[in-house]
Amino acid sequence: MVHTTQCCILMGCLCLFYPWSQVCEWREPEELAALLDLELRENGEPQHQLLQRIRDVAKYSVKTNHPRFFNQLFAGVDYHALTGRFLTEALNTSQYTYEVAPVFVLMEDEVLSKLRSLVGWAEGDGIFCPGGTMSNMYAMNVARYRAFPEVKLKGMWSLPRLAVFTSQQSHYSVMKAAAFQGIGTENVFKVKVDDRGCMIPEDLGETIELAKSQGAVPFFVHATSGTTVQGAFDPLEPIADICDRQGLWMHVDAAWGGSVLFSKEHKHLMRGVERADSVTWNPHKMMLTGLQCSAILLKDTTHLLKHCHSADAKYLFQQDKFYDTSLDTGDKSIQCGRKVDCLKLWLMWKAVGSKGLEERVDRAFTHTRYLVEEMQRREGFELIGKVAPVIKERMMKQGTMMLGYQPQGGRVNFFRMIVISPQLSHQDMTFCLNEIERLGNDL
Amino acid sequence: MVHTTQCCILMGCLCLFYPWSQVCEWREPEELAALLDLELRENGEPQHQLLQRIRDVAKYSVKTNHPRFFNQLFAGVDYHALTGRFLTEALNTSQYTYEVAPVFVLMEDEVLSKLRSLVGWAEGDGIFCPGGTMSNMYAMNVARYRAFPEVKLKGMWSLPRLAVFTSQQSHYSVMKAAAFQGIGTENVFKVKVDDRGCMIPEDLGETIELAKSQGAVPFFVHATSGTTVQGAFDPLEPIADICDRQGLWMHVDAAWGGSVLFSKEHKHLMRGVERADSVTWNPHKMMLTGLQCSAILLKDTTHLLKHCHSADAKYLFQQDKFYDTSLDTGDKSIQCGRKVDCLKLWLMWKAVGSKGLEERVDRAFTHTRYLVEEMQRREGFELIGKVAPVIKERMMKQGTMMLGYQPQGGRVNFFRMIVISPQLSHQDMTFCLNEIERLGNDL
């Protein structure tokens, strides 16, 4: 049978991942397009050709599972999570009603509840979203709805000009959300950060007053636990004090940093998170579940999420069903069909336990600390500047590793090293530094 | 190795799907929760227990791949697409830059271009989104941006009250989009439909005038090709005439119906679609790619999508890269991380060709026609009314098949039969009618 053969090949590709020495096999776009023969035609192709296609797709794709892929906030592979992802694909369902997704409705509930308990909430609400940006958008939308429920019916014309607050180094999804939701990027006020990239609470207070003096109505503070570039954790306690005093919705974007809550040693970085109204947390980042796995968690127990997003479609959410229709959780979502994102996390969690996930987080911090110490011992790692793009080009073309660079604020280009994969060792950290030196040796 | 064993079990589960006689193995929520032992604990579980968990998840999940799953607008399985989904999971990447997803950036471009050519556009733009609702939201947002580009910076306060138009039977995502984007559901004007559920163009014209007389500014007409309940196709030519005359953005939500464009026999249902500004098309529905696979296609060649959604994040979209950065397509998206949704469709298309996909569409229509004729031959299939929920309950608890019911407009409950799977035969159609008779025999 077709699928058996192909799946075997696939497994073959999988097993090849790790021993492959290269993280990527760089090809110029034109050359790659020709190699892949992407064109879709009138007639189908024979079996052997399809198998070759599958091999080519794997060969020329970046091996994000490779231990030396440090390029994004996701990396590595957990085989339990991968099994959960395969099973999700095989079962192919949509997470909207108990009748269609009985197992996953209950499972999502359990996983969300467990994530909430790590935040420090005994109850609350939440949903899995297609990525952290969507989760952040949910937070902004629900916050707006709590402050001005008439917005759902009447739109923004019934509301005063609103103001959103976030740090200068928060993720760009805040801007995307403000634009998409009709708030406008000009109404996102940027709060100053300190040297480490953490929001300065005093400046938050002042910025709120500034917005008010301009006639805008503050409603939403978007703090960050684990910024995208520096990995900074905003000080949540003083931010919560300000939100309390001003009656603002406090959102914590912990897409990247949330996983520290598993660690007794590092969870202090998010001290005060239980005072937030909502938290974004992407297990597909530090937890290695694989894309996509992002949760928006809410402290709310008044069904705000459902009231804000529901459209009561009769073909899906019939009220004369023979079971408890509160299990039909799909109307909390802004989506209709929604992919099952909980199984991969649940299965991995079952397999290694909270303890195993804690160890994973601790190990990533240990590697990072080692890397920083090693870097301080070496010369020439302070400023990379104009040589970074050249080192990056050589790195990609030789395929030895992958990490990203960018400028920030007044600083010139620097490399951003993301350390996640449990397959990593101190040797990999040393390799990485040696490799940057080697690639930039003549510059 | 862990993954090898588990994957073998998984394949075992897969092979079990088809011969399983039941579409679902119904359990009450409390019972199911206990059976699955969902709780996540401090310690991990041994291998044999994990394997049992995987078996249980498969056993109690609805077999949406079963030929007699007629419950949603997705069903059935295509093994090529499934292989593409497994490979997507194994490669685990995010579709934002050429550097991270070289194969998939080029592949998405090819697939979108091919879908556009079926719409009738030689050029244009587009992107894959997490589901049809998101695709519809993109359309509304880009339309708003084209009409009032200042909205991105200044928000809705700089705009007049807007008006959206759609039929009474369009999908509820229009309402969700209007609420989410700050337009408000009251500003969605519902246009009357005829008996078949198709938008009445004359009423569209009148409703536009009505909105204007109330001081609202029309900007967006949301037509439907394949409504969710009746499968109706709005008449696109006269709708396009009105949009042309009034200078409105014409969107066609062909999430369900789009696949008729593969069929020489049935594509007339979407005559005039090439005059639209944007089209939503979900290959995860009639094409069986598996969730999620939804494209938003645009006729636009001025990079509206990018201008509307870009946030120019420096850590991701560096402009001093060593390759053509126009290949970094991620900033067209409102997401940051974005799952690869093109591979499953591409691989299936390569395998069976456009011709194979055409046959699939034609076969679904043949089955439907047969079903209608059979139904007309039998008595008692006119009105189901209050007995539908009871028949549905019995159907679920016996697990013999799954189809949905709902009321609509003035009509009482009726069953909505979705015919997609290529594994279906006329026998299944007959079975379905017999089974409804059997289940409702004593009512």
pLDDT on residue B443 = 84
Q: Does A80 touch chain B (CB under 8 A)?
A: yes
A141 at B interface, C-beta within 8 A: yes
**SS3 for B367?**
helix
Interface TM-score (ipTM) > 0.90: yes
Q: DSSP readout, A51-110?
A: HHHHHHHHHHS--TTSTTEESSS-----HHHHHHHHHHHHH---TT-TTT-HHHHHHHHH
Per-residue pLDDT tens over the stretch B192-218: 999 999 999 999 999 999 999 999 999
Distance CA B359, CA B184 (A): 42
> How much is the average pLDDT of B21-35?
94
CA neighbor of A286 nearest in space, from A64, A81, A70, A73 = A73
Q: Average of pLDDT values for A301-322?
A: 91
pLDDT of residue B429 exceeding 70: yes
pLDDT for res B387? 87
Check residue A20 and give its pLDDT: 57
* Cβ contacts of A28 on chain B, cutoff 8 Å: 323
Predicted confidence (pLDDT) per residue in A42-92, tens digit: 999 999 999 999 999 999 999 999 989 999 999 999 999 999 999 999 999
B12 pLDDT more than 70: no
Single-letter code of the amino acid located at A98: Y
| Axis crossing angle, helix A79-91 with helix A343-377, rounded to the nearest 10 | 150
**Spatial separation of the C-alpha atoms in residues B418 and A168, rounded to whole Å:** 50
- Average the pLDDT over A238-264 and give the result: 98
At residue A384, the pLDDT reads: 67
Residue A17 pLDDT > 80, yes or no?
no
The residue type of B250 is M
Cα–Cα nearest to A212, from A287, A145, A160: A160
Q: Side-chain half-sphere of B326: how many Cα atoms within 13 Å?
A: 4
Can you read off the two tokens belonging to residue B189? 């004007």
pLDDT of residue B79: 94
| Position B134 confidence tier, pLDDT thresholds 50, 70, 90 | very high
Selecting from B43, B309, B314 the residue whose C-beta is nearest the C-beta of A176 gives B309
What is chain B's Cα-based Rg?
Answer: 23
CA distance A346 to A1: 31
**Quick check: B40 and A79 CB within 8 A?**
no
B349 backbone dihedrals φ, ψ, rounded to 5°: -65, -45
The CA-atom distances, in angstroms, between B381 and each of B68, B72, B173, B334, B364 are 19, 20, 30, 46, 21
CB A238 within 8 A of CB A201: yes
Report the pLDDT value the prediction gives residue B303, as an integer from 0 to 100.
Answer: 96
Q: What is the DSSP letter of B357?
A: H
A289 touches chain B (CB under 8 A): no
Whether B5 has a pLDDT exceeding 60, the answer reads no
Query: Using a CB-CB distance cutoff of 8 angstroms, which residues of chain A are in contact with residue B42?
Result: 353-355
pLDDT for res B245: 98
In this prediction the pTM is 0.95
Kindly determine whether residue B38 and residue A110, on different chains, have CB atoms separated by under 8 Å. yes
Q: Provide the pLDDT for residue B320.
A: 86
Phi and psi at residue B436, in whole multiples of 5°? -60, -40
| DSSP reduced 3-state for B199 | strand
Return the pLDDT at B10. Answer: 54
Q: Among A375-389, B170-184, B282-296, whose mean pLDDT is lowest?
A: A375-389
**Minimum CA–CA partner of A35 in chain B:** B103
Comparing CA positions, the residue from A415, A419, A397, A395 lying closest to residue A405 is A415
Residue B188: closest CA among A141, A154, A24, A35: A154
Euclidean distance between CA atoms B251 and B274, whole angstroms: 11
User: What was the pLDDT predicted at B149?
Assistant: 98
Which residues in chain A are contacts of B29 at CB distance < 8 A?
A: 98, 102, 106, 323-324, 327
* For residues B251-279, average pLDDT: 98
Using CB atoms, pick whichever of B43, B86, B405 lies closest to residue A86.
Answer: B86
The answer, yes or no, to whether residue A315 has pLDDT greater than 80, is yes
Q: Does A64 contact B320 at a Cβ distance shorter than 8 Å?
A: no
Q: Which DSSP letter does residue A225 get?
A: B
A99 in reach of chain B (CB within 8 A): yes
Q: Which two three-digit tokens encode residue B147? A: 């009409």
Chain A contact for B389 (CB, 8 A cutoff) = yes
pLDDT digits (tens, 9 = 90+) for A81-134: 999 999 999 999 999 999 999 999 999 999 999 999 999 999 999 999 999 999
Percent of chain B with pLDDT strictly greater than 90: 78
Q: Does A306 touch chain B (CB under 8 A)?
A: no
A113 vs B: CB within 8 A: no
B residues 233-272 lying closer than 8 A (beta carbon) to A: none
Neighbour-count burial of A185, counting CB atoms closer than 10 A to its CB (0-12 exposed, 13-18 middle, 19+ buried): middle
Q: Do A92 and B74 touch (CB under 8 A)?
A: yes
CB contact under 8 A, B336 and A171: yes
What's the pLDDT score for residue A376?
A: 86
pLDDT confidence bin for A4, thresholds 50/70/90: very low
- Chain B residues with CB under 8 Å of A1 CB are 79
Mean pLDDT of the residues in chain B: 92
pLDDT reported for residue A383: 60
Q: In this predicted structure, what is the pLDDT of residue B20?
A: 58
**Using CA atoms, how far apart are residues B158 and B136, in angstroms rounded to an integer?**
23
pLDDT classification of B420: cutoffs 50, 70, 90:
confident
Query: B175 vs A14: CB contact, 8 Å cut-off?
Result: no
